[in-house]
Chains A and B, each alone.
Chain A
């Protein structure tokens, strides 16, 4: 019956090009939202078809919530969420628990000595380190490595992964529909009884992730410094993966504390999309996720970034080829002009009709690529609208800056055309539609919008709101945002390697 309703709407859509309102109406019939007694929100989207479903567990806490001196902790906990529970991943949890507590005591003693400013005893430090490592080896005896992900994999979990951003942490995979109860059990257990086993080895894994994404990658190096310069007060100035000294310091106890504070049911949305019936799935989900004890909503207030009053520049002198990046502070995603920024991003960047492509790539022939986007490094708090360009050989970052500024000036001084406005609106609607036939994308979007707006319908409303964006809005927002004193610039300037750069340990001839 629901399928027929969808088809009718599809017909209407076909007749009237794309109309989001009808689409939303069709979705209303397929979506069930329930807030459980413990505060956890469940969203179920019925999408009849192949007997599979996807889910997204959205935790409304990310790297911004990393405590001072513990950058990277939100991401670290995300890794720990694959380490199992008190029942999974252990041969004897009672004994393991005692052993893990010893590891923490030994680690605290080691760190205290390591961080002595004056009078550090090197021999004592060595002994403490050994004691800590011995305790780790002892705790390891009880571990069944990777049992949790192994259960998922052997049950056919597809695309199992998780991600931590500045704003949120998200966990997902897909299963066949006969494993809905297995999923509900495992996913709720994971967030009821996580165990911080193998923490310090996993910390090394995370440090390798930092080396890969940032230290050994020129764009990673630039963006880390750029973001640190653009934000001075708000936690957005810190890298989500963490500063190296914090990574080498925080403990399993810190990760457990982070979990206790932020992974509370009222801070979580679980969305399921696929070949499920809400009437059957909801009781199962409620049964298992309802077990998570209610805890107080964490205080997520942060320092507000004060207005920027002078241009900031970060120049990375690097072996890599040049790059130009600039960002302007803008308000958070709840701002009334949020859709205006979306319209500007689309106009400036989307495809070969975009203004930056046509100006820098096609006509001036100075860049290989150029675009603008919003959401650096996140959306939840006031953030940056950024532009960048990849200069062609023989062209400089300054030429990129000049050409981008010409296009920004056009935004400020001239109305965009009717065709451009129509293009932006049509594209947003079509893109929304194209995302509706994918369980994984749907689960992720529904959880995100439910968490951010307390209403998944905003996924549709945001697109409808684009229809209200006027030419004057675009000029107004461009004029108030894209000004030099509100700007941070990041540049890669290419330098030749030092002459004696050859390594000594290659041994090759």
Chain B
């Protein structure tokens, strides 16, 4: 113990010496380079305010630049939209802003904001919608007024719904042009089930089914103060802004509570799945299954495993598939995690058509190898060092801290979750990692998707096992003839 203390003080001294006189201590080997202790860092946390109507507000002062940014996150997203109106939230979260307010069209808002170089924008995801603003401090009152108008009195004008529907039709027509898009979409369907709300995709029919009334109804049932977490960061005085927000939102009546979701995850049968794409010379391979939630006690071990197995340059997948075999530019993956639903297990890579089967087998070998050659103590040290030594980049700016805190609030995680994460990772042992890997990663449980030009594969995919062909033909818009079949006789 005393020895340790002595060493530590020597290290501190050496650090000072190096800074005072670097010429005296030039390193000739990286291990000789002195790394002084990092000064204590206590990042500023935002002030949390809860209004009586349930609205949660975070205020994070940051006076570096004369700017103010904010975002409101509202519970409810595309996972709750009706399946026959898939795409509703994407369209809602566009027209919410572009459709204007009671008093101004969206185009008028565009002109008003752009001349101030300000933004008010809306967006949507699987579990929430957001409305954000960004402005110069001097314009805050003007811009906040627009933000509040869009938040509470949007008009959802029909011309903008038609515009976004046209754009959506275009996106559907193009969705098979890009390999990555096909892989992302079909991987989610295989991992979660084609009708799962995180995986299902909009079609011409479901987009056409969405009406202005649907948008209005969604807004009224979701945009209520008890569903909102508002965060603001920038050059303001918290006390004054809190008073303003209390005045603005204090009297806003509560809305009904949202029903809790029950979502089923029905992964595809393990095996091989092929999307034929004959205008590419590289196959995209994606092995998928169901992952875990972040509140799973195995989460920390899984994070360490992922880093060691398929994370960065040091990981097993990168080293074997890319560096040693030269089979891929992009390769990686692991046991996916998410806050409130299982993430996706996914290993992915791109390789030339003629090494497709070789690559699938190489990935399989890596999965098997985890059981026969468990992640070593040294690999675990590297992985933990990578996570812990870069930990500070989770909180190196006031807005990052704000975003983290808002996320924990949204998903019901403790506000000191990040610190718990750091401690949790620190405690992970090789046995924990081995247990987590054997629990969540099995090659026999994965669906293997290949998007590629099978005529150029090294061997038939069927030589590995039964293959299911996935037909990605796009169903035509309602009332239009289907496309002539690309492959007559099938």
Q: Do A and B come from one complex?
A: yes
Q: Quick check: is A278 within 8 A (CB to CB) of the other chain? A: no
The interface residues of chain B lying within 8 Å CB-to-CB of A111 are: none
- A154 with B326: CB separation less than 8 A: no
- B389 with A208: CB separation less than 8 A: no
Stretch with Cβ within 8 A of A (4 or more), from B161-169, B193-201, B223-231, B245-253: B161-169
Stretch with Cβ within 8 A of A (4 or more), from B83-91, B212-220, B380-388, B428-436: B380-388
- A215 with B282: CB separation less than 8 A: yes
- B107 with A352: CB separation less than 8 A: yes
The interface residues of chain A lying within 8 Å CB-to-CB of B23 are: 283, 287
Question: What is the interface residue range for chain B against chain A?
Answer: 35 or more
The interface residues of chain A lying within 8 Å CB-to-CB of B324 are: 145, 201
Pick the contact of B490 from A52, A204, A502, A507 — CB < 8 Å?
A: A502
Residue of B nearest to A428 (CB): B117
- A351 with B170: CB separation less than 8 A: no
Closest Cβ of chain B to A386, distance in Å, is 20
Q: Quick check: is B415 within 8 A (CB to CB) of the other chain? A: no
- A392 with B169: CB separation less than 8 A: yes
Most buried by B among A87, A181, A209, A365: A181
Closest Cβ of chain A to B322, distance in Å, is 6
- B328 with A208: CB separation less than 8 A: yes
The interface residues of chain A lying within 8 Å CB-to-CB of B43 are: 50
Q: Quick check: is A168 within 8 A (CB to CB) of the other chain? A: no
- A433 with B281: CB separation less than 8 A: no
Most buried by B among A216, A218, A280, A427: A216
**A181 with B312, Cβ < 8 A, contacts A154-B382, A509-B469 known:** no
- A288 with B169: CB separation less than 8 A: no
Chain A residues 487-505 with CB under 8 Å of chain B are 496-497, 499, 501-505
Pick the contact of A433 from B65, B107, B392 — CB < 8 Å?
A: B65
User: Count of chain A residues with Cβ under 8 Å from any Cβ of B?
Assistant: 102
- B282 with A208: CB separation less than 8 A: yes
A504 vs B324: C-alpha distance when bound (angstroms): 30
- B66 with A151: CB separation less than 8 A: no
The interface residues of chain B lying within 8 Å CB-to-CB of A160 are: 312-313
Stretch with Cβ within 8 A of A (4 or more), from B31-39, B45-53, B259-267, B289-297: B31-39
Closest Cβ of chain A to B213, distance in Å, is 23
- A50 with B467: CB separation less than 8 A: no
Stretch with Cβ within 8 A of A (4 or more), from B1-9, B70-78, B271-279: B271-279
Q: Quick check: is B370 within 8 A (CB to CB) of the other chain? A: no
Residue of A nearest to B318 (CB): A146
Stretch with Cβ within 8 A of B (4 or more), from A13-21, A64-72, A302-310: A13-21
Pick the contact of B163 from A145, A154, A361, A497 — CB < 8 Å?
A: A361
The interface residues of chain B lying within 8 Å CB-to-CB of A365 are: 163, 166
Closest Cβ of chain B to A200, distance in Å, is 8
A264 vs B471: C-alpha distance when bound (angstroms): 54
Chain B residues 437-479 with CB under 8 Å of chain A are 453-457, 459-463, 467-469
Closest Cβ of chain A to B129, distance in Å, is 19
Q: Quick check: is B158 within 8 A (CB to CB) of the other chain? A: no
The interface residues of chain A lying within 8 Å CB-to-CB of B116 are: 426
Pick the contact of A427 from B114, B137, B177, B272 — CB < 8 Å?
A: B114
The interface residues of chain A lying within 8 Å CB-to-CB of B468 are: 508
Q: Quick check: is A437 within 8 A (CB to CB) of the other chain? A: yes
A184 vs B378: C-alpha distance when bound (angstroms): 26
The interface residues of chain A lying within 8 Å CB-to-CB of B397 are: 49-50, 437-438
A153 vs B453: C-alpha distance when bound (angstroms): 36
Q: Quick check: is A321 within 8 A (CB to CB) of the other chain? A: yes
A353 vs B107: C-alpha distance when bound (angstroms): 8
Q: Quick check: is B407 within 8 A (CB to CB) of the other chain? A: no
Q: Mark A84-114, 1 if CB is under 8 A from B, else 0.
A: 0001100000000000000000000000000
Q: Quick check: is B10 within 8 A (CB to CB) of the other chain? A: no
Chief secondary structure at chain A's binding surface: helix
Chain A residues 274-321 with CB under 8 Å of chain B are 280, 283-284, 287-288, 318-321
Q: Quick check: is A178 within 8 A (CB to CB) of the other chain? A: yes
Q: Quick check: is B280 within 8 A (CB to CB) of the other chain? A: yes
Closest Cβ of chain A to B310, distance in Å, is 13
A52 vs B37: C-alpha distance when bound (angstroms): 13
Q: Quick check: is A56 within 8 A (CB to CB) of the other chain? A: no
Closest Cβ of chain A to B422, distance in Å, is 12
Chain B residues 360-403 with CB under 8 Å of chain A are 381-382, 385-386, 388-393, 395-397
The interface residues of chain A lying within 8 Å CB-to-CB of B115 are: 419, 422-423, 426
A284 vs B281: C-alpha distance when bound (angstroms): 48
Residue of A nearest to B168 (CB): A368
Q: Quick check: is A451 within 8 A (CB to CB) of the other chain? A: no
The interface residues of chain B lying within 8 Å CB-to-CB of A497 are: 278-279, 486
The interface residues of chain A lying within 8 Å CB-to-CB of B457 are: 503, 505
Q: Quick check: is B238 within 8 A (CB to CB) of the other chain? A: no
A293 vs B272: C-alpha distance when bound (angstroms): 55
Q: Quick check: is A415 within 8 A (CB to CB) of the other chain? A: no
The interface residues of chain B lying within 8 Å CB-to-CB of A434 are: 65, 67, 134
Q: Quick check: is A186 within 8 A (CB to CB) of the other chain? A: yes
The interface residues of chain A lying within 8 Å CB-to-CB of B484 are: 496
- A503 with B454: CB separation less than 8 A: yes
Q: Mark A138-176, 1 if CB is under 8 A from B, else 0.
A: 000000011001111111111010000000000000101
Q: Quick check: is B329 within 8 A (CB to CB) of the other chain? A: yes
- A153 with B329: CB separation less than 8 A: no
A504 vs B463: C-alpha distance when bound (angstroms): 13
**A150 with B313, Cβ < 8 A, contacts A51-B38, A181-B22, A284-B22 known:** yes
The interface residues of chain B lying within 8 Å CB-to-CB of A88 are: 30
- B18 with A181: CB separation less than 8 A: yes
- B136 with A14: CB separation less than 8 A: yes
A6 vs B66: C-alpha distance when bound (angstroms): 10
A13 vs B396: C-alpha distance when bound (angstroms): 25
Residue of B nearest to A218 (CB): B177
Most buried by A among B37, B177, B390, B469: B390
Pick the contact of A504 from B107, B351, B455 — CB < 8 Å?
A: B455
A426 vs B219: C-alpha distance when bound (angstroms): 33
The interface residues of chain A lying within 8 Å CB-to-CB of B111 are: 353, 419
Closest Cβ of chain B to A115, distance in Å, is 22
The interface residues of chain A lying within 8 Å CB-to-CB of B41 are: 50-51
The interface residues of chain B lying within 8 Å CB-to-CB of A467 are: none
Q: Quick check: is A362 within 8 A (CB to CB) of the other chain? A: yes
A49 vs B177: C-alpha distance when bound (angstroms): 45
Closest Cβ of chain B to A443, distance in Å, is 14
Q: Mark A170-192, 1 if CB is under 8 A from B, else 0.
A: 00001011110110011001000
The interface residues of chain A lying within 8 Å CB-to-CB of B36 are: 178
Q: Quick check: is B211 within 8 A (CB to CB) of the other chain? A: no
Pick the contact of A508 from B64, B235, B274, B382 — CB < 8 Å?
A: B274
**A506 with B136, Cβ < 8 A, contacts A422-B115, A434-B67 known:** no
The interface residues of chain B lying within 8 Å CB-to-CB of A14 are: 66, 136-138, 235
Closest Cβ of chain A to B18, distance in Å, is 6
- A204 with B326: CB separation less than 8 A: yes
Closest Cβ of chain A to B191, distance in Å, is 20
**A507 with B329, Cβ < 8 A, contacts A14-B136, A51-B41, A429-B117 known:** no
Q: Quick check: is B149 within 8 A (CB to CB) of the other chain? A: no
The interface residues of chain A lying within 8 Å CB-to-CB of B388 are: 156
Q: Quick check: is A10 within 8 A (CB to CB) of the other chain? A: yes
Q: Quick check: is A436 within 8 A (CB to CB) of the other chain? A: yes
- B136 with A176: CB separation less than 8 A: no
- A353 with B114: CB separation less than 8 A: yes
- B328 with A156: CB separation less than 8 A: no
A–B pairs, 18, beta carbons within 8 Å: A6-B64, A50-B392, A51-B39, A51-B41, A51-B392, A87-B29, A150-B314, A178-B38, A181-B34, A182-B35, A185-B30, A207-B352, A216-B179, A283-B22, A423-B115, A433-B65, A437-B65, A499-B486
Additional A-B contacts beyond A201-B325, A502-B487, A503-B456 (19; CB < 8 A): A51-B39, A52-B396, A149-B313, A181-B33, A181-B35, A202-B323, A205-B322, A208-B350, A284-B18, A321-B173, A392-B169, A393-B170, A433-B136, A496-B486, A503-B276, A506-B460, A507-B454, A507-B467, A508-B468
The 4 A-B pairs of least Cβ separation, nearest first, read A507-B462, A156-B389, A503-B454, A430-B117
